[in-house]
Structure 1
Amino acid sequence: MTIRRSTLNKLAFSTLLVTLPLHAAFAQDAAVADRLKAALAAQGVDISWTGVTGDASSMVLQGVTFKPGAEKEAFKIGDIKLEGVSEANGGYEIETVSTSAFQHSENGVTLDLSPFIIHDMTVPADGATGPLGSMMMYESAELDNMTVKVGDKTAFSMDGLGIEITPPADGKAMEFSGTTEKFNADLTLVEDPKSKDVINALGYQNITGNLAMEGTWQPADGKMELSKYDISVDNAGTL
């Protein structure tokens, strides 16, 4: 069975976009929702939902779907919960944002994600200027588990993803870090002959380990630097 690159790219894209529909949770304020929808549409992402329940400080966005412009079908995200919502400087601050568990299958490849939880999210006011403009920021996020299956075999799994972000201030760059407690990859599913020969020669058909990364991003010029990107493989060292 061949793992198509386009399929994996789509699954990875869906992982990165899983939090985009959070913008629409402010549908109780039509002006904010319309602005955010327009901003996402300009990025080629179509957002929809079936309803919003709760009140101004705690709400659930129900039946969320999103569709990147290049895709024919929308991804079904499910419900998104926002807690501790308050107005701040014309925008919003949200203490906790949590998604539903997510699953997407295509061409025999299935992606499963546990709920993605975001802490201390800030949504800027309409008309905000500066390098960050209308960008949303958050201070930390966590994902308990991600699994990618090819047929009935687990090709890749990851546990304990944690992200920490220090928002930029006074012209300084944003600082970020990310760690995983554990990952597992089944390299027997790799079908490229040359890669397979190398894997077999090294004797690493299945690998486990962890990952740690740190870096900065300067919103003024878009420059990103990685000061650390360590992939530690059990019984093999750190790359």
Structure 2
Amino acid sequence: MKHYKLTQVFLAGTAAALLASQAHALDGDDMLKKLSAAYASYGTKITYDSVTTSDTTVTAKGVKLKVETADKSPDLPLGDVTFSDVEEADDGGYYAGNVSFQNVDMSKDGGHLTAKDLQIDGLSIPGTPSTASLDGMILFQSAHTGNITFEQDGKRVFQVEKIESNVEVADDSSSLTSDTSISGIWADLSDVKDPKAQETINKLGLTNFNGNIATKGSWASATGKIDLTEFSIDARDLGKLNLTLSMSGYTPQLIKAMQDATVAAAANPDKKAGDAALGMTMMGLLQQLSFNGASIRFDDASITKRLLDYFGKEQNMTGDQFAQSLKGMAPLMMAQLNVPELQNQVSAAVTKFLDNPKNIEIKAAPAAPVAAPMIMGAAMGAPQTLPQVLGVSVNANQ
């Protein structure tokens, strides 16, 4: 009798456990629907043929992406996508520890594109999509691709060794920081169709491009402050170009308004009227922005001397003679802007750089943030005051 009761208890417990596991089983279709809804808030449509779920793994077959605001944009086929280590979040959303994609192998009109090892780690899918806060947006912790190659008519013309991207969100979801690196970029410029351009490329030794691209930045959603601390293109035997930018007012609300305006313009059957309305709306929305600072810096890696020699030869002079002519032209060109202080800075920086090409930088650092309407007003009414409004300076070899 006791054995019978124990058996009953065991069977009842087992049944309860099975029912509980079924009640909490992952709903792969629900996850894909919420992923689709989140993408839709960015003006992108995601479709799929079918979804299967096994334990904590969700596999979507026949996944395609399409930018809804582009009238004739083709679907981007992603094939089968596997979401691993999936968990349901408290807000009804989902978290996937890893998302892996099929290798890309596409051919069209003699072009052949391949991409390997595409994956995302730490993907968060919101339960209720919203551009009003970071909690309602699609976010990931890191993304990675392996080798990407493009061939034309059987000849390799472009390649990237790998792409890596990382995103870190603050504990209170008020801001995020991110960085991206595109490493091992290679491009073949030996078959440029324009004869003159090809001749210039050959003489400057630019038939092969080798380099890397890197970006670093942060965004605070409440104030809309964006700090792009690095956007660099580092090309071997050419030089490194780096841009920085800081502005405020790029809030989630502004992003949503811009997206809505773009969608409305695309839906307008009168394309000219839609574009005109979009332009006016964007002009109004951009007035919410403020400019904090920016810079453009170039560090030379031998391209300057080659350019001076090349264009000097075009003018029947040496590279040094051509550099001297440029130093003489700089003050004359700057004088037309009627900004004496900046004219002197530019002339001094150009002379210093051309005498010994190391680096040159243009920086805008206003004493306080400058509202976009003030910049627009100065540009239209008194353009010669812009350098002073924005705190522009030019320096070389620093």
User: Which interval holds the TM-score relative to the shorter structure?
Assistant: 0.7 to 0.9
- For the residues of structure 2 that align with 1:95 and 1:159, how far apart are their CA atoms? 24
Q: Report the more deviating stretch, 38-47 or 221-230.
A: 38-47
In the alignment, which residue of structure 1 is the partner of 2:58? 59
1:11-160 matches, within 5 Å, as: 28-30=28-30, 33-38=32-37, 40-41=39-40, 44-55=43-54, 57-69=56-68, 70-71=71-72, 73-90=74-91, 91-126=93-128, 130-132=132-134, 134-160=136-162
Deviation of 1:186 after TM superposition, in Å, equals 0.7
Q: Report the more deviating stretch, 111-120 or 49-58.
A: 49-58
Deviation of 1:220 after TM superposition, in Å, equals 3.7
Q: Letter of the 1:238 partner, please give it.
A: K
- For the residues of structure 2 that align with 1:158 and 1:34, how far apart are their CA atoms? 33
Deviation of 1:114 after TM superposition, in Å, equals 1.1
In the alignment, which residue of structure 2 is the partner of 1:13? none
Any idea what SS the aligned residue of 2:127 has?
A: coil
Structure with the larger RCO, 1 or 2 (CA within 8 Å, 6+ apart): 1
- Indicate conservation of the 8 Å contact 2:28/2:58, yes or no: no
Q: Letter of the 1:89 partner, please give it.
A: D
Q: Does 1:175 align with 2:174?
A: no
- For the residues of structure 1 that align with 2:239 and 2:131, how far apart are their CA atoms? 46
- For the residues of structure 1 that align with 2:175 and 2:192, how far apart are their CA atoms? 39
Cα deviations by residue, 1:60-111 (Å, 9 ceiling, x for unpaired): 1112223334336533221101111001222211100011112334443332
Any idea what SS the aligned residue of 1:81 has?
A: strand
Bigger-Rg structure (1/2): 2
- Indicate conservation of the 8 Å contact 1:27/1:52, yes or no: no
- For the residues of structure 1 that align with 2:104 and 2:124, how far apart are their CA atoms? 24
- For the residues of structure 2 that align with 1:196 and 1:222, how far apart are their CA atoms? 44
Q: Letter of the 2:67 partner, please give it.
A: P
Q: Letter of the 1:28 partner, please give it.
A: G
More strand by share: 1
Deviation of 1:41 after TM superposition, in Å, equals 4.8
Deviation of 1:143 after TM superposition, in Å, equals 0.5
Any idea what SS the aligned residue of 1:200 has?
A: helix
Deviation of 1:171 after TM superposition, in Å, equals 6.7
Give 4+ residue runs of structure 1 displaced > 6 Å after superposition.
none
Q: How many residues align?
A: 213
Q: CA RMSD in A?
A: 2.9
Deviation of 1:176 after TM superposition, in Å, equals 0.9
Q: Letter of the 1:63 partner, please give it.
A: G
- For the residues of structure 1 that align with 2:159 and 2:136, how far apart are their CA atoms? 34
1:201-216 matches, within 5 Å, as: 201-216=203-218
Any idea what SS the aligned residue of 2:203 has?
A: helix
Deviation of 1:196 after TM superposition, in Å, equals 3.6
- For the residues of structure 1 that align with 2:155 and 2:44, how far apart are their CA atoms? 32
- Indicate conservation of the 8 Å contact 2:34/2:127, yes or no: no
Cα deviations by residue, 1:156-203 (Å, 9 ceiling, x for unpaired): 100121111112454753211112331111112433566545422311
In the alignment, which residue of structure 1 is the partner of 2:229? 227
Any idea what SS the aligned residue of 2:147 has?
A: strand
**TM-score, length-scaled by structure 1:** 0.74
Cα deviations by residue, 1:123-179 (Å, 9 ceiling, x for unpaired): 122266742363110111110111122222222100121111112454753211112
Deviation of 1:43 after TM superposition, in Å, equals 5.0
Q: Letter of the 2:52 partner, please give it.
A: T
Gaps of 5+ in 1: 1-25
Using a 3 Å threshold, how does the CA distance of structure 1 residues 145 and 71 change in structure 2: closer, same or farther? farther
More helix by share: 2
Q: Percent identity?
A: 28
**TM-score, length-scaled by structure 2:** 0.47
Using a 3 Å threshold, how does the CA distance of structure 1 residues 128 and 37 change in structure 2: closer, same or farther? closer
- For the residues of structure 1 that align with 2:141 and 2:240, how far apart are their CA atoms? 28
Using a 3 Å threshold, how does the CA distance of structure 1 residues 159 and 238 change in structure 2: closer, same or farther? same
- Indicate conservation of the 8 Å contact 1:102/1:115, yes or no: no
- Indicate conservation of the 8 Å contact 2:59/2:81, yes or no: yes
